[in-house]
Amino acid sequence: MTSPIAGGVDCDLHPAVPHLTSLLPYMNDYWRDQVTTRGMTDLVSQSYPTNSPISSRPDWRPGQGKPGSDLADMQRQALDPFRVRYGICNPLYGVQMVFSEDMQDAFCRALNDWLVKEWLDKDARLRGSIVIPTQSVEKSVAEIERCGKDSRFVQVLLLVMGDMPLGKRAYWPIYAAAERLGLTIGIHAGSAYHNPPTSIGWGSYHIEDYVAQATAFQTQLTSLIVEGVFARHPALKMVMLESGFTWLPAYLWRLHKFWRGIRMETPWVDRAPLEIVRSNIRFSLQPVDAPPDPATLNRLFDHMQSDELLLFSTDYPHWQFDGDEVLPPGLSGDLVRKIMIDNPLATYGRLEFAKETTP
Amino acid sequence: MNVQFRPEPSTSLSLKTAIADCDIHPARATATELYPFLAKRWHAHLETYGKQAYHGMMEGPPYPKAQPNASRRDAWPPEGGPQGSSLSFMQKQLLDPYNVALGVLNPLASGQGLRNQDLAGAICSAINDWQIERWTSKDSRLKGSIVVANEDGPTAAAEIRKRAGDPNFVQVLLLSRNVEPLGQRRYWPIYEAAQEIGLPVGVHAFGFGGNPLTPSGWPSFYIEEMVGHSQCQQTALASLVLEGVFERFSKLKMVMIEAGFGWAPSLAWRLDKTFEKLHSEVPHLKRKPSEYIRDHIWWTTQPMEDPERRDHLFQTIEWIGWDKLLFATDYPHWDFDEPSRVLPAGVSAANREAFYLGNAKKLYGVA
Amino acid sequence: MVRHVIAPVDELPPGTRKFLIIDERPIAIFNIKGEFFGLLNRCPHQGAALCEGPLIGLAQSSNPGEIEYTKLGEIIRCPWHGWEFDIRTGQSYCDPKRFRARAYPVNVEPGSAVVKGPYVAETIKVAVESDYVVVDL
């Protein structure tokens, strides 16, 4: 196995909201009454059923309650053993499934405030992602600006399966706000289920949805690149979270091949897609969708033609690896340092900024 | 010095060794060319209501193509009609110069992806008769694909059984995009019939089933549709594996056509890795997903992935198996792969032969 | 380098192109708004007859959604894979460093000069009073 080094950044941790009622203290009177008088249920997405094996490593599953809902567990199971300097919290609470922009806004604000009070305030290593009400771009921008004042928020979080492809120009004010405030855009596996969870309709199984997440990332990457998001925002960094990455080389070969012939359709894409990925896109390490032999993985790294694309992640508490084998076998010491420290610090501009300004 | 002022139309390098082209698209010269094979009732229906596919356009595709009819601009037949509609010009431009010993026809503008299932069945059956009459009976190198009303299992199965033992056909053809993912049970009668008559099922990229092209809705550009076919194909294949189609139909062979193959290793690894955790949800699977793929799936090559470093491509092929690739040009379409350009020197003679011809002959049972 | 006399200027009016083979090389000569250009009729990508493609403009953009369309009629788009080449230089736009179409200089010379040589014109009758399209290769 490859040993992690101290001082890294865990870019994908999932603190769990115990229940919708946990957010009530962070809602105004109207929404508190709405939740209680209408008997609203907990917002658990089918993307991560609480008891699904992928939703928690067996030995990380608590005696009661949702995996990842207890800070002490997270400290003991992820932050301490992997000796990270920072851990970035990406709450996957199912607020994206809500259709009303007003309700979604209320729930997102509550979720972000909950993250600050219940997590970021309680462990200085933790950093946050701003969950936004994508049903309204205007409200999303307002929430980014509101939360962005707290330098511990380092990222804006989107789900990979939503209402529209993420490159669509309607979303660009979100990217402009993120760039202006030095925030990274994180795109995480999961669906709002506003569209069928695969490109060809509804499958039968949870496993099908999960496997399809990787293809959803591929379609989003195409959208972001060909719509010209990075021509407009060349400094913007986007991180694909829990996306898998072994699909990237073959995906880029295909995109590059077609771009060369249809360049005139999207002329703002004025360099090869691979170059755009190298400058603007990063991927969290877990899951590593490859066999455990170092030879295959090292070939894949060679196909990726860059050692700057991967960012260390445990995907805590999701079940992606066992024991302390968070790093796949056969990585060089130099690559470990890049994945765990250099690449995340270069991606999340606010991490170093926060260090300077937070006591 | 030699100046010719009336050069011959461009022909490419001749190939010394014979090849199989496993993805050729025959077209109809006129809108009415199918009528002799189609009951009269449908002539008026088509002229009054059109085909009514699972998209809004009365004619043409929702994403305008990169070239007219998505075809090479040098493939217009001299006698008129769209690209791919003339056998003699196809012989002259494709079959003869490239030494094609086996050409598999995949008619695309058929009755597939239509909302009216009676019409779908009628057009598909007519297309199959038309392939025999206009193509396969006139050039023994060409073999047809049985197109079927994809959303109507019993009708599709009957059409397949009707063609049992007919040497004009070497596969059953489906498209990747349907009303539901291809592993769903509504499509099982198709697989059952194909297995019964001993033909592989080809799944060609494209098609319409009413679902948005991405799990986040409809994208903006044609390039997104083109790249997106590989994501559709990946989910179609995942569905086939996870629904247990290959457990149920253990002799079924399938060909992934024109959707790339470079993604296959990563998809198989992801399926295996996820299956390790979630196998309790799919207890009907007795083996690892990658094993079903290895045993049941073949891949046509075009559009061949085109990395900067060719060794990356060959390493990817090694993960899939040289015995699983079937060379294809996609003639007359614009993203045609030129046969002499896809494999550089350095590939062993045995792999080269398998890639260009041997695998196809074996799979399609053509001597 | 040999200078080949291709045709009297009148036979190649603006908007036309002429295909010919010189020393086994397929060549196309274009008249674009009175200017003449020569290209090898073979795409450097996969060998298609490049010069049978349409002449279009060059789409560029520094701001997504806003397209500047220049060089109208000076970009040849390959009839197969759609790669774009600048007819003046042969430069490709999708991969300018690695792919370039072979361009040949084309000039108009008076018959009086052509008659004196050193031009190769054995298949064309040259009259002193006409002008001729001449390609260097």
CA distance B84 to B103: 13
pLDDT at C112 (0 to 100) = 84
Backbone angles phi, psi at B95, to 5 degrees: -65, -45
Domain spans of chain B? 19-364
Amino acid at residue number A309: L
CA dist., res. B61 & res. B73, Å (int): 18
Mark the ranges of chain A whose per-residue pLDDT is less than 50.
Answer: 358-359
Q: Where are the domains of chain C?
A: 3-136
Instruction: For residues A212 and B11, give the distance between their C-alpha atoms in angstroms, rounded to a whole number.
Output: 43
Q: Are B106 and B10 in contact (CB under 8 A)?
A: no
Window 166-205 of B: residues touching A by CB (8 A cutoff) are: 176-184
* Distance, CA of B358 to CA of A238 (rounded, Å): 45
- DSSP per-residue codes, B89-112: HHIIIIITTTTEEEEEE---SSST
**Does C122 have pLDDT greater than 90?**
no
A183 to chain C, minimum CA–CA distance in Å? Answer: 22
Q: From CA A120, how far away is CA A128, in angstroms rounded?
A: 7
Q: How far C57 CA sits from the closest chain A CA (Å)?
A: 9
Per-residue pLDDT, B325: 98
For A197, residues 6+ apart whose C-beta sits below 8 A from its C-beta are A161, A191, A203, A208, A209, A212, A216, B215
Asked if A252 and A274 touch (Cβ cutoff 8 Å), the reply is yes
Q: pTM for the complete prediction? A: 0.96
Phi, psi torsion values for C98, nearest 5 degrees: -100, -25
- Which residue is listed with tokens 């190769």? C120
Tell me how far apart the alpha carbons of residues A262 and B6 are, in angstroms, rounded to a whole number. Answer: 32
Distance in angstroms (rounded) separating the CA atoms of residues B326 and B358: 9
Q: What is the pLDDT of residues A17-44, one digit of tens each?
A: 999 999 999 999 999 999 999 999 999 9
Contacts of A261 in chain C (CB under 8 A): 78, 81-83, 94
- Tokens 């300004």 correspond to A357
C-chain residues within 8 Å CB-CB of A264? Answer: 56, 59, 77, 82, 84
Q: Does CATH place domain B19-364 in 3.20.20.140?
A: yes
Q: What residues of C are in contact with residue B72 (Cβ under 8 Å)?
A: 48, 79-80
Q: Compare C122 and B284 and report the one with higher pLDDT.
A: B284
Q: How far apart are CA C28 and CA C135, in angstroms?
A: 10
CATH superfamily of this structure's domain A8-357: Metal-dependent hydrolases (3.20.20.140)
N-to-C CA span, chain C: 5
CA nearest to C120 within chain B: B1
CB contact (8 A) between residue A270 and residue C60:
yes
User: What are the helix (H) ranges across B50-187?
Assistant: 87-90, 117-131, 153-162
Q: Determine the pLDDT at residue B344.
A: 79
Question: Could you give phi then psi for residue C90, rounded to 5 degrees?
Answer: 80, 0
Return the closest-CA partner of residue B149 out of B113, B176, B104, B180.
B113
Which of C46, C122, C133 is the best residue to mutate to test the B interface, defined by the most B CB atoms within 10 Å of its own CB? C46
Number of Cβ within 10 Å of residue C2's Cβ equals 12
* Confidence grade of residue C119 (pLDDT, cut at 50, 70, 90): confident
Q: Consecutive 10-residue runs of chain B (367 residues): their mean pLDDT?
A: 50 71 97 96 96 93 93 96 98 97 96 96 98 98 98 98 98 98 98 98 97 98 98 98 98 98 98 98 98 98 92 95 98 95 89 97 93
Residues in chain A, total: 359
Considering CB atoms only, which of A168, A201, A207 is closest to B242? A207
Q: Which pLDDT value is given to residue B1?
A: 41
Spatial separation of the C-alpha atoms in residues B125 and B114, rounded to whole Å: 14
> What pLDDT band is residue C59 in, cutting at 50, 70 and 90?
very high
For residue B53, the model assigns a pLDDT of 95
User: Residue A63 burial (CB < 10 Å; 0-12/13-18/19+)?
Assistant: exposed
Q: Neighbouring chains of B at 3+ CB pairs within 8 Å?
A: A, C
State the amino acid at position B354 in one-letter form.
A
Banded pLDDT at C37 (limits 50, 70, 90): very high
Mean of per-residue pLDDT scores for chain C: 92
Is residue C69 a contact partner of residue C82, using CB atoms and an 8 Å limit? no
Contact assignment for B223 to A223 by CB distance below 8 Å: no
Instruction: Name the residue with tokens 């779908």.
Output: B120
Using a CB–CB cutoff of 8 Å, tell me whether B280 touches chain A. Answer: yes
> Looking at the complex, does the CB of residue A39 fall below 8 Å from at least one CB of chain C?
no
Nearest residue on chain B to C23, alpha-carbon basis:
B2
Beta-carbon contacts of residue C99 (< 8 Å; ≥ 6 apart)? C44, C45, C83, C92
Residue C45: both structure tokens together: 């990508």
Q: How many CA atoms lie within 13 A of B65 on its CB side?
A: 15
Sheet holding C25-32, edge to edge: B3-4, C17-22, C25-32, C35-40, C103-104
CB contact under 8 A, B2 and C24: yes
Which residue among C62, C64, C93 places its CB closest to the CB of A263? C93
Domain boundaries, chain A: 8-357
ipTM: 0.97
pLDDT of the residue at A229: 98
Task: Decide if C84 touches B, using CB distance below 8 A.
Answer: no
Distance from C-alpha of C33 to C-alpha of C13, rounded to nearest angstrom: 9
Length of chain C: 137
User: Are the C-beta atoms of B179 and B209 separated by less than 8 Å?
Assistant: yes
CATH 2.102.10.10 fits C3-136, yes or no: yes
CB-CB neighbors (< 8 A) of A261 in chain B: 66, 334-335
Structure tokens given for A279: 């400058």
A210-252 pLDDT per residue, tens: 999 999 999 999 999 999 999 999 999 999 999 999 999 999 9
Per-window interface: A 187-226 vs B, CB < 8 A? 191, 194-208, 210-212, 214-216, 218-220, 222-223, 226
Q: Do B74 and C82 touch (CB under 8 A)?
A: no
Q: Note whether C118 contacts B: Cβ–Cβ < 8 A.
A: no
The answer to whether the Cβ–Cβ distance between B277 and A53 falls below 8 Å is yes
Tokens 């992997």, located at residue = A82
